[in-house]
Structure 1
Amino acid sequence: MSEPPAEPDKDAVIAGLRRELSAAQSEVRVLRRRLGATVMPGGAPSAPGLLNELREAAPRKVDAPATVAVKLGRRFDLWRSPVAIGVVMVVLTAFAIDAAVGLYQARSLREARQARLLLENAAMRSLYVELKGIAYEPDGKSYRMTLSLQNVSPNGPLYVMLNAVSVFVQSGMVWQQVPSRPAPGVSWGVVKVVDGYTYDVVFTPDVANWAELIPGYMHVRIQSDLLVSEKAQPGNDVVERRTPYYVYLKPHGANDEDIKARSKSTRTPPLFIPMPPH
């Protein structure tokens, strides 16, 4: 029969167990330092230590602004395209042309207004229109009046379009127009007024029941309508000049003595008495 195995040395076994326990304790201390937590009863690490381990083990997120910046940078490559640059140039050119046209139109309008004001000033202040006189016509019912134009403009001659002169006689509370015409040798049209120009007009105030504001006299309104320009062949640079005259006119065959008696005057009644515009 074989011999039974020898019993192990108890001291050796105890020494080995102590070494294993010391190694295990060393490993526990290492894990405790890594986890940053105390070891709970039963050998399980505490919750905060596990959370810190999970946070450190979790993957980190990429910073969002950096990603956006990269994408925007890629989109800016569109502006390097010749087509995009061409479109931008066309739009800018269109805006520049529109602005230039606007400035030109504004300047042209300003110059046109200034020229219009200067022409109106010349027509109203540099051209004098005057009723020089009225005389009887031989037919015993008509009158001849003389109108005078005088140019005092320092800019040269004025070109005046002579239109028909209108004549009105007051009857009651209304003005009644009477026939008028240019005198022989006078025609309506454009005349060049360098210094002065005179023309005659014949009218026939054949009106019944004319108003007698002054004893023995008719109340007459004469209206001269002229077109004035500084050019012989004007375009839009023409202004209208309207000049009214008011006179008291003595009828054909009037009795001067009767008029003097009614007006209580010793002077011989004149043919006409000019009045200011009213």
Structure 2
Amino acid sequence: MSVILSARNLSRIYPARRGSITAVDLVSLDIQVGEFVAVCGRSGSGKSTLMAILGALARPDHGTLRLEGTDLLQLPHRKLANLRSHRMGFMLQTNSLLPGLTALDNAALPGLLAGKSHHHAYCRAQNLLTRLGMGERWDAFPHELSGGQQRRVSLARALQNEPALLLLDEPTSNLDPLAEEEILKVLQELRDERKLAIFAVTHGDQLASLADRVFQMSAGQLALAEKPSAAPVRSSLIERQGPVFEKTPQGLANDETPKAAPVGDWRGPASFFLSTLLLGASLLYSTDRIIAWSQGRHLWAQQEKKRITEEIAFRQLRADVDSFDAMDDGNVRANLFLQNFDPSHRFFILGPTIRIFYQADGRWDSVPQESSEASDAKIREVVPAKTLIPFHFRLLPPKYDELIRGYFHIRITSTMVVSETREAKGDLFERQDDYYIYLKDPRLTEDEVRRRNGWKPGSVVPPWIAMPAH
């Protein structure tokens, strides 16, 4: 079996106010043709940054990266973009489906951007949607589809250009169990039928259990881990091993009756004194044990509350960018949406606080934000229906980095505090998300964007494109 992707000593370091953060630390990895590799780890461990580097969406500070023998880090931007669009497919944690396009349009978009004919791109999109069980919903818009259906459209789009490597960023997160099972079944069939190489980052054991190899990522470092066999069982009960008390030692007589010390014998008062001393010591020991047990229970309860709040923040709360609308004068109106995936469990957030940056000369420059609902520091309940949080900013920079010709590279950082109560009492958890968007420069016409990127006349020019974290 040949190697399709080879990474050696990849590192990515981000500067911070108090030093630096190593997101990826000397990672080396080979992925074989047809192999399924999964990377597990907590949020902030560097999984998404690693995927962005392996997908040539971000450059490492050190190391080498080769796809089918080609050194990706030595390619100019245009050749790299062309190779990435033809040989790699991306299925992101955020569906990133364009809201103004139908399922068929979204699935055909990568083919059109890669220069394929309109007929070829749409025929393949229709075939893929049919193969993934979405043939009857080809004309539906993203907001008319369930979470699982949106992921199927995202998968069809990722497969549009027949990639050799499929990169998945939390493809089953924020899905109900049935939708998650549907996506896992489709991925398993693709792996078996197409011999497609798959690299996935995930929190869940269900997806990792399908992989040929599973790695654990922590503090930017990658280590081979044991492949999970099933989903974890959530239980706070620990099985007790062995009896509570020790058995009576053998050889001790058990038919003797204890006798009191004779009156006047010194052993009587001494025994009484010793007994009293031992009783006091026992009471002190017992009191200490009770206090320790109580403190242990309190600490366990605090940890359990923290675990529940963290689970709400990452599994029950869905937050994503919903829309972007750029005006000719540089004003941009956008929406972030919030959604509670478990109607039976109420929770609240403080915020979100939103910060906006654009990339210029390899650095992130801050963008002043106009007054908006997102900047209001208030507590709100997150409900099952999508709640839109509008925000507004103005962006017409004289110079900016063009990873895609004619598009700003924008980062939106959202920070919110999650609480189980409206009063924000008890254990709180801060969640921070970074969203990456390519936004078309409103000063350019669609024909200028097509010409700069070498796209065919009449091909779709999306107003904005969502990208994975990197």
Structure of greater Rg: 1
Query: Against the structure 1 CA distance between its residues 239 and 178, is the aligned structure 2 distance closer, same or farther, given a 3 Å change threshold?
Result: same
Give yes or no for the alignment of 1:93 onto 2:283: yes
Q: CA deviation at 1:81?
A: 5.1
Name the SS for the 1:164 alignment partner. Answer: strand
Residue 163 of structure 1 corresponds to which residue in structure 2? 352
Amino acid at match of 1:79: A
- Give the alignment partner of residue 233 of structure 1, picking from 401, 423, 430: 423
Offset at 1:135? 0.8
Task: Name 1:274's counterpart in structure 2.
Answer: 466
Query: Quick one: distance in 2 between partners of 1:105 and 1:137?
Result: 59
More moved, 227-236 vs 161-170: 227-236
Residues 354 and 375 of structure 2 are in contact (CA less than 8 Å); yes or no, is this contact kept in structure 1?
Answer: no
Per the TM alignment, residue 114 of structure 1 is displaced from its structure 2 partner at its CA by 2.0
The higher relative CO (CA closer than 8 Å, separation ≥ 6) is in 2
Q: 1:245-278: per-residue Cα shift (whole Å, max 9, x none)?
A: 1111112322221111111223242221111222
- The counterpart of 1:147, out of the listed 322, 326, 336, is 336
SS in structure 1 of the partner of residue 353 of structure 2: coil
Indicate the residue corresponding to 2:411 in structure 1: 221
In 2, Cα distance between the equivalents of 1:179 and 1:79? 83
Counterpart CA distance in 1 for 2:292 and 2:396 is 59
Deviation, 1:145, is 0.8
Go from structure 1 to structure 2 and tell me whether the alpha carbon gap of 1:91 and 1:232 turns closer, same or farther (over 3 Å shift).
same
Check conservation: 2:318, 2:340, Cα contact below 8 A.
Answer: yes
Report the equivalent of 1:124.
Answer: 314
Q: Residues 129 and 150 of structure 1 are in contact (CA less than 8 Å); yes or no, is this contact kept in structure 2?
A: yes
Aligned AA (1:272) = W
Residue type matched to 2:270 in 1? Answer: W
C-alpha change, 1:185 and 1:211, in structure 2 (3 Å) is closer
SS at 2:312's partner residue?
A: helix
1:100–1:238 distance in 2 versus 1, CA, 3 Å: same
Match 1:112 to one of 299, 302, 308: 302
Match of 1:79 in 2: 270
Q: TM-score, normalised by structure 2?
A: 0.40
Structure 2, gaps ≥5 residues long: 1-263
Q: Does the CA-based 8 Å contact 1:164-1:182 persist in structure 2?
A: no
Query: Normalization by structure 1: what TM-score?
Result: 0.66
Write the letter of the residue equivalent to 2:352: N
Q: Which residue identity does 1:188 align to in structure 2?
A: A
Task: Supply the distance in 1 between the matched residues of 2:373 and 2:465 (Cα, whole angstroms).
Answer: 25
| Contiguous gaps of at least 5 residues in structure 1 | 1-72
Alignment partner of 1:194 is 2:383: yes
CA distance in 2, matches of 1:75, 1:171: 93
Q: Please report how far the alpha carbon of residue 74 of structure 1 lies from its aligned counterpart in structure 2 after TM superposition.
A: 5.6
Q: 1:277 to 1:186 in 2, by over 3 A?
A: closer
Could you report, residue by residue, the CA deviation over 1:72-114 in whole angstroms, capped at 9, with x for unpaired residues?
x9653442556x6544433221111100111111122222222
Aligned partner of residue 306 in structure 2, secondary structure? helix
The CA deviation at 1:176 is: 1.0
Deviations 1:165-212 (A, max 9, x none): 011111111111111244269733111122232110112234342101
Q: Distance in 1 between matches of 2:301 and 2:373?
A: 43
Quote the Cα distance in structure 1 between the aligned partners of 2:318 and 2:465: 20
Give the superposed CA RMSD.
Answer: 2.4
Q: Which amino acid aligns with 1:114?
A: E
What is the CA deviation profile of residues 142-169 of structure 1, one whole-angstrom value per residue up to 9, with x for unaligned ones? 2111011010124422201113201111
Distance 1:181 1:125, change over 3 A: farther
Cα deviation digits, residues 51-86 of structure 1 (max 9, x gap):
xxxxxxxxxxxxxxxxxxxxxx9653442556x654
Identity rate, percent:
24
Instruction: Give 2:325's aligned residue.
Output: 135
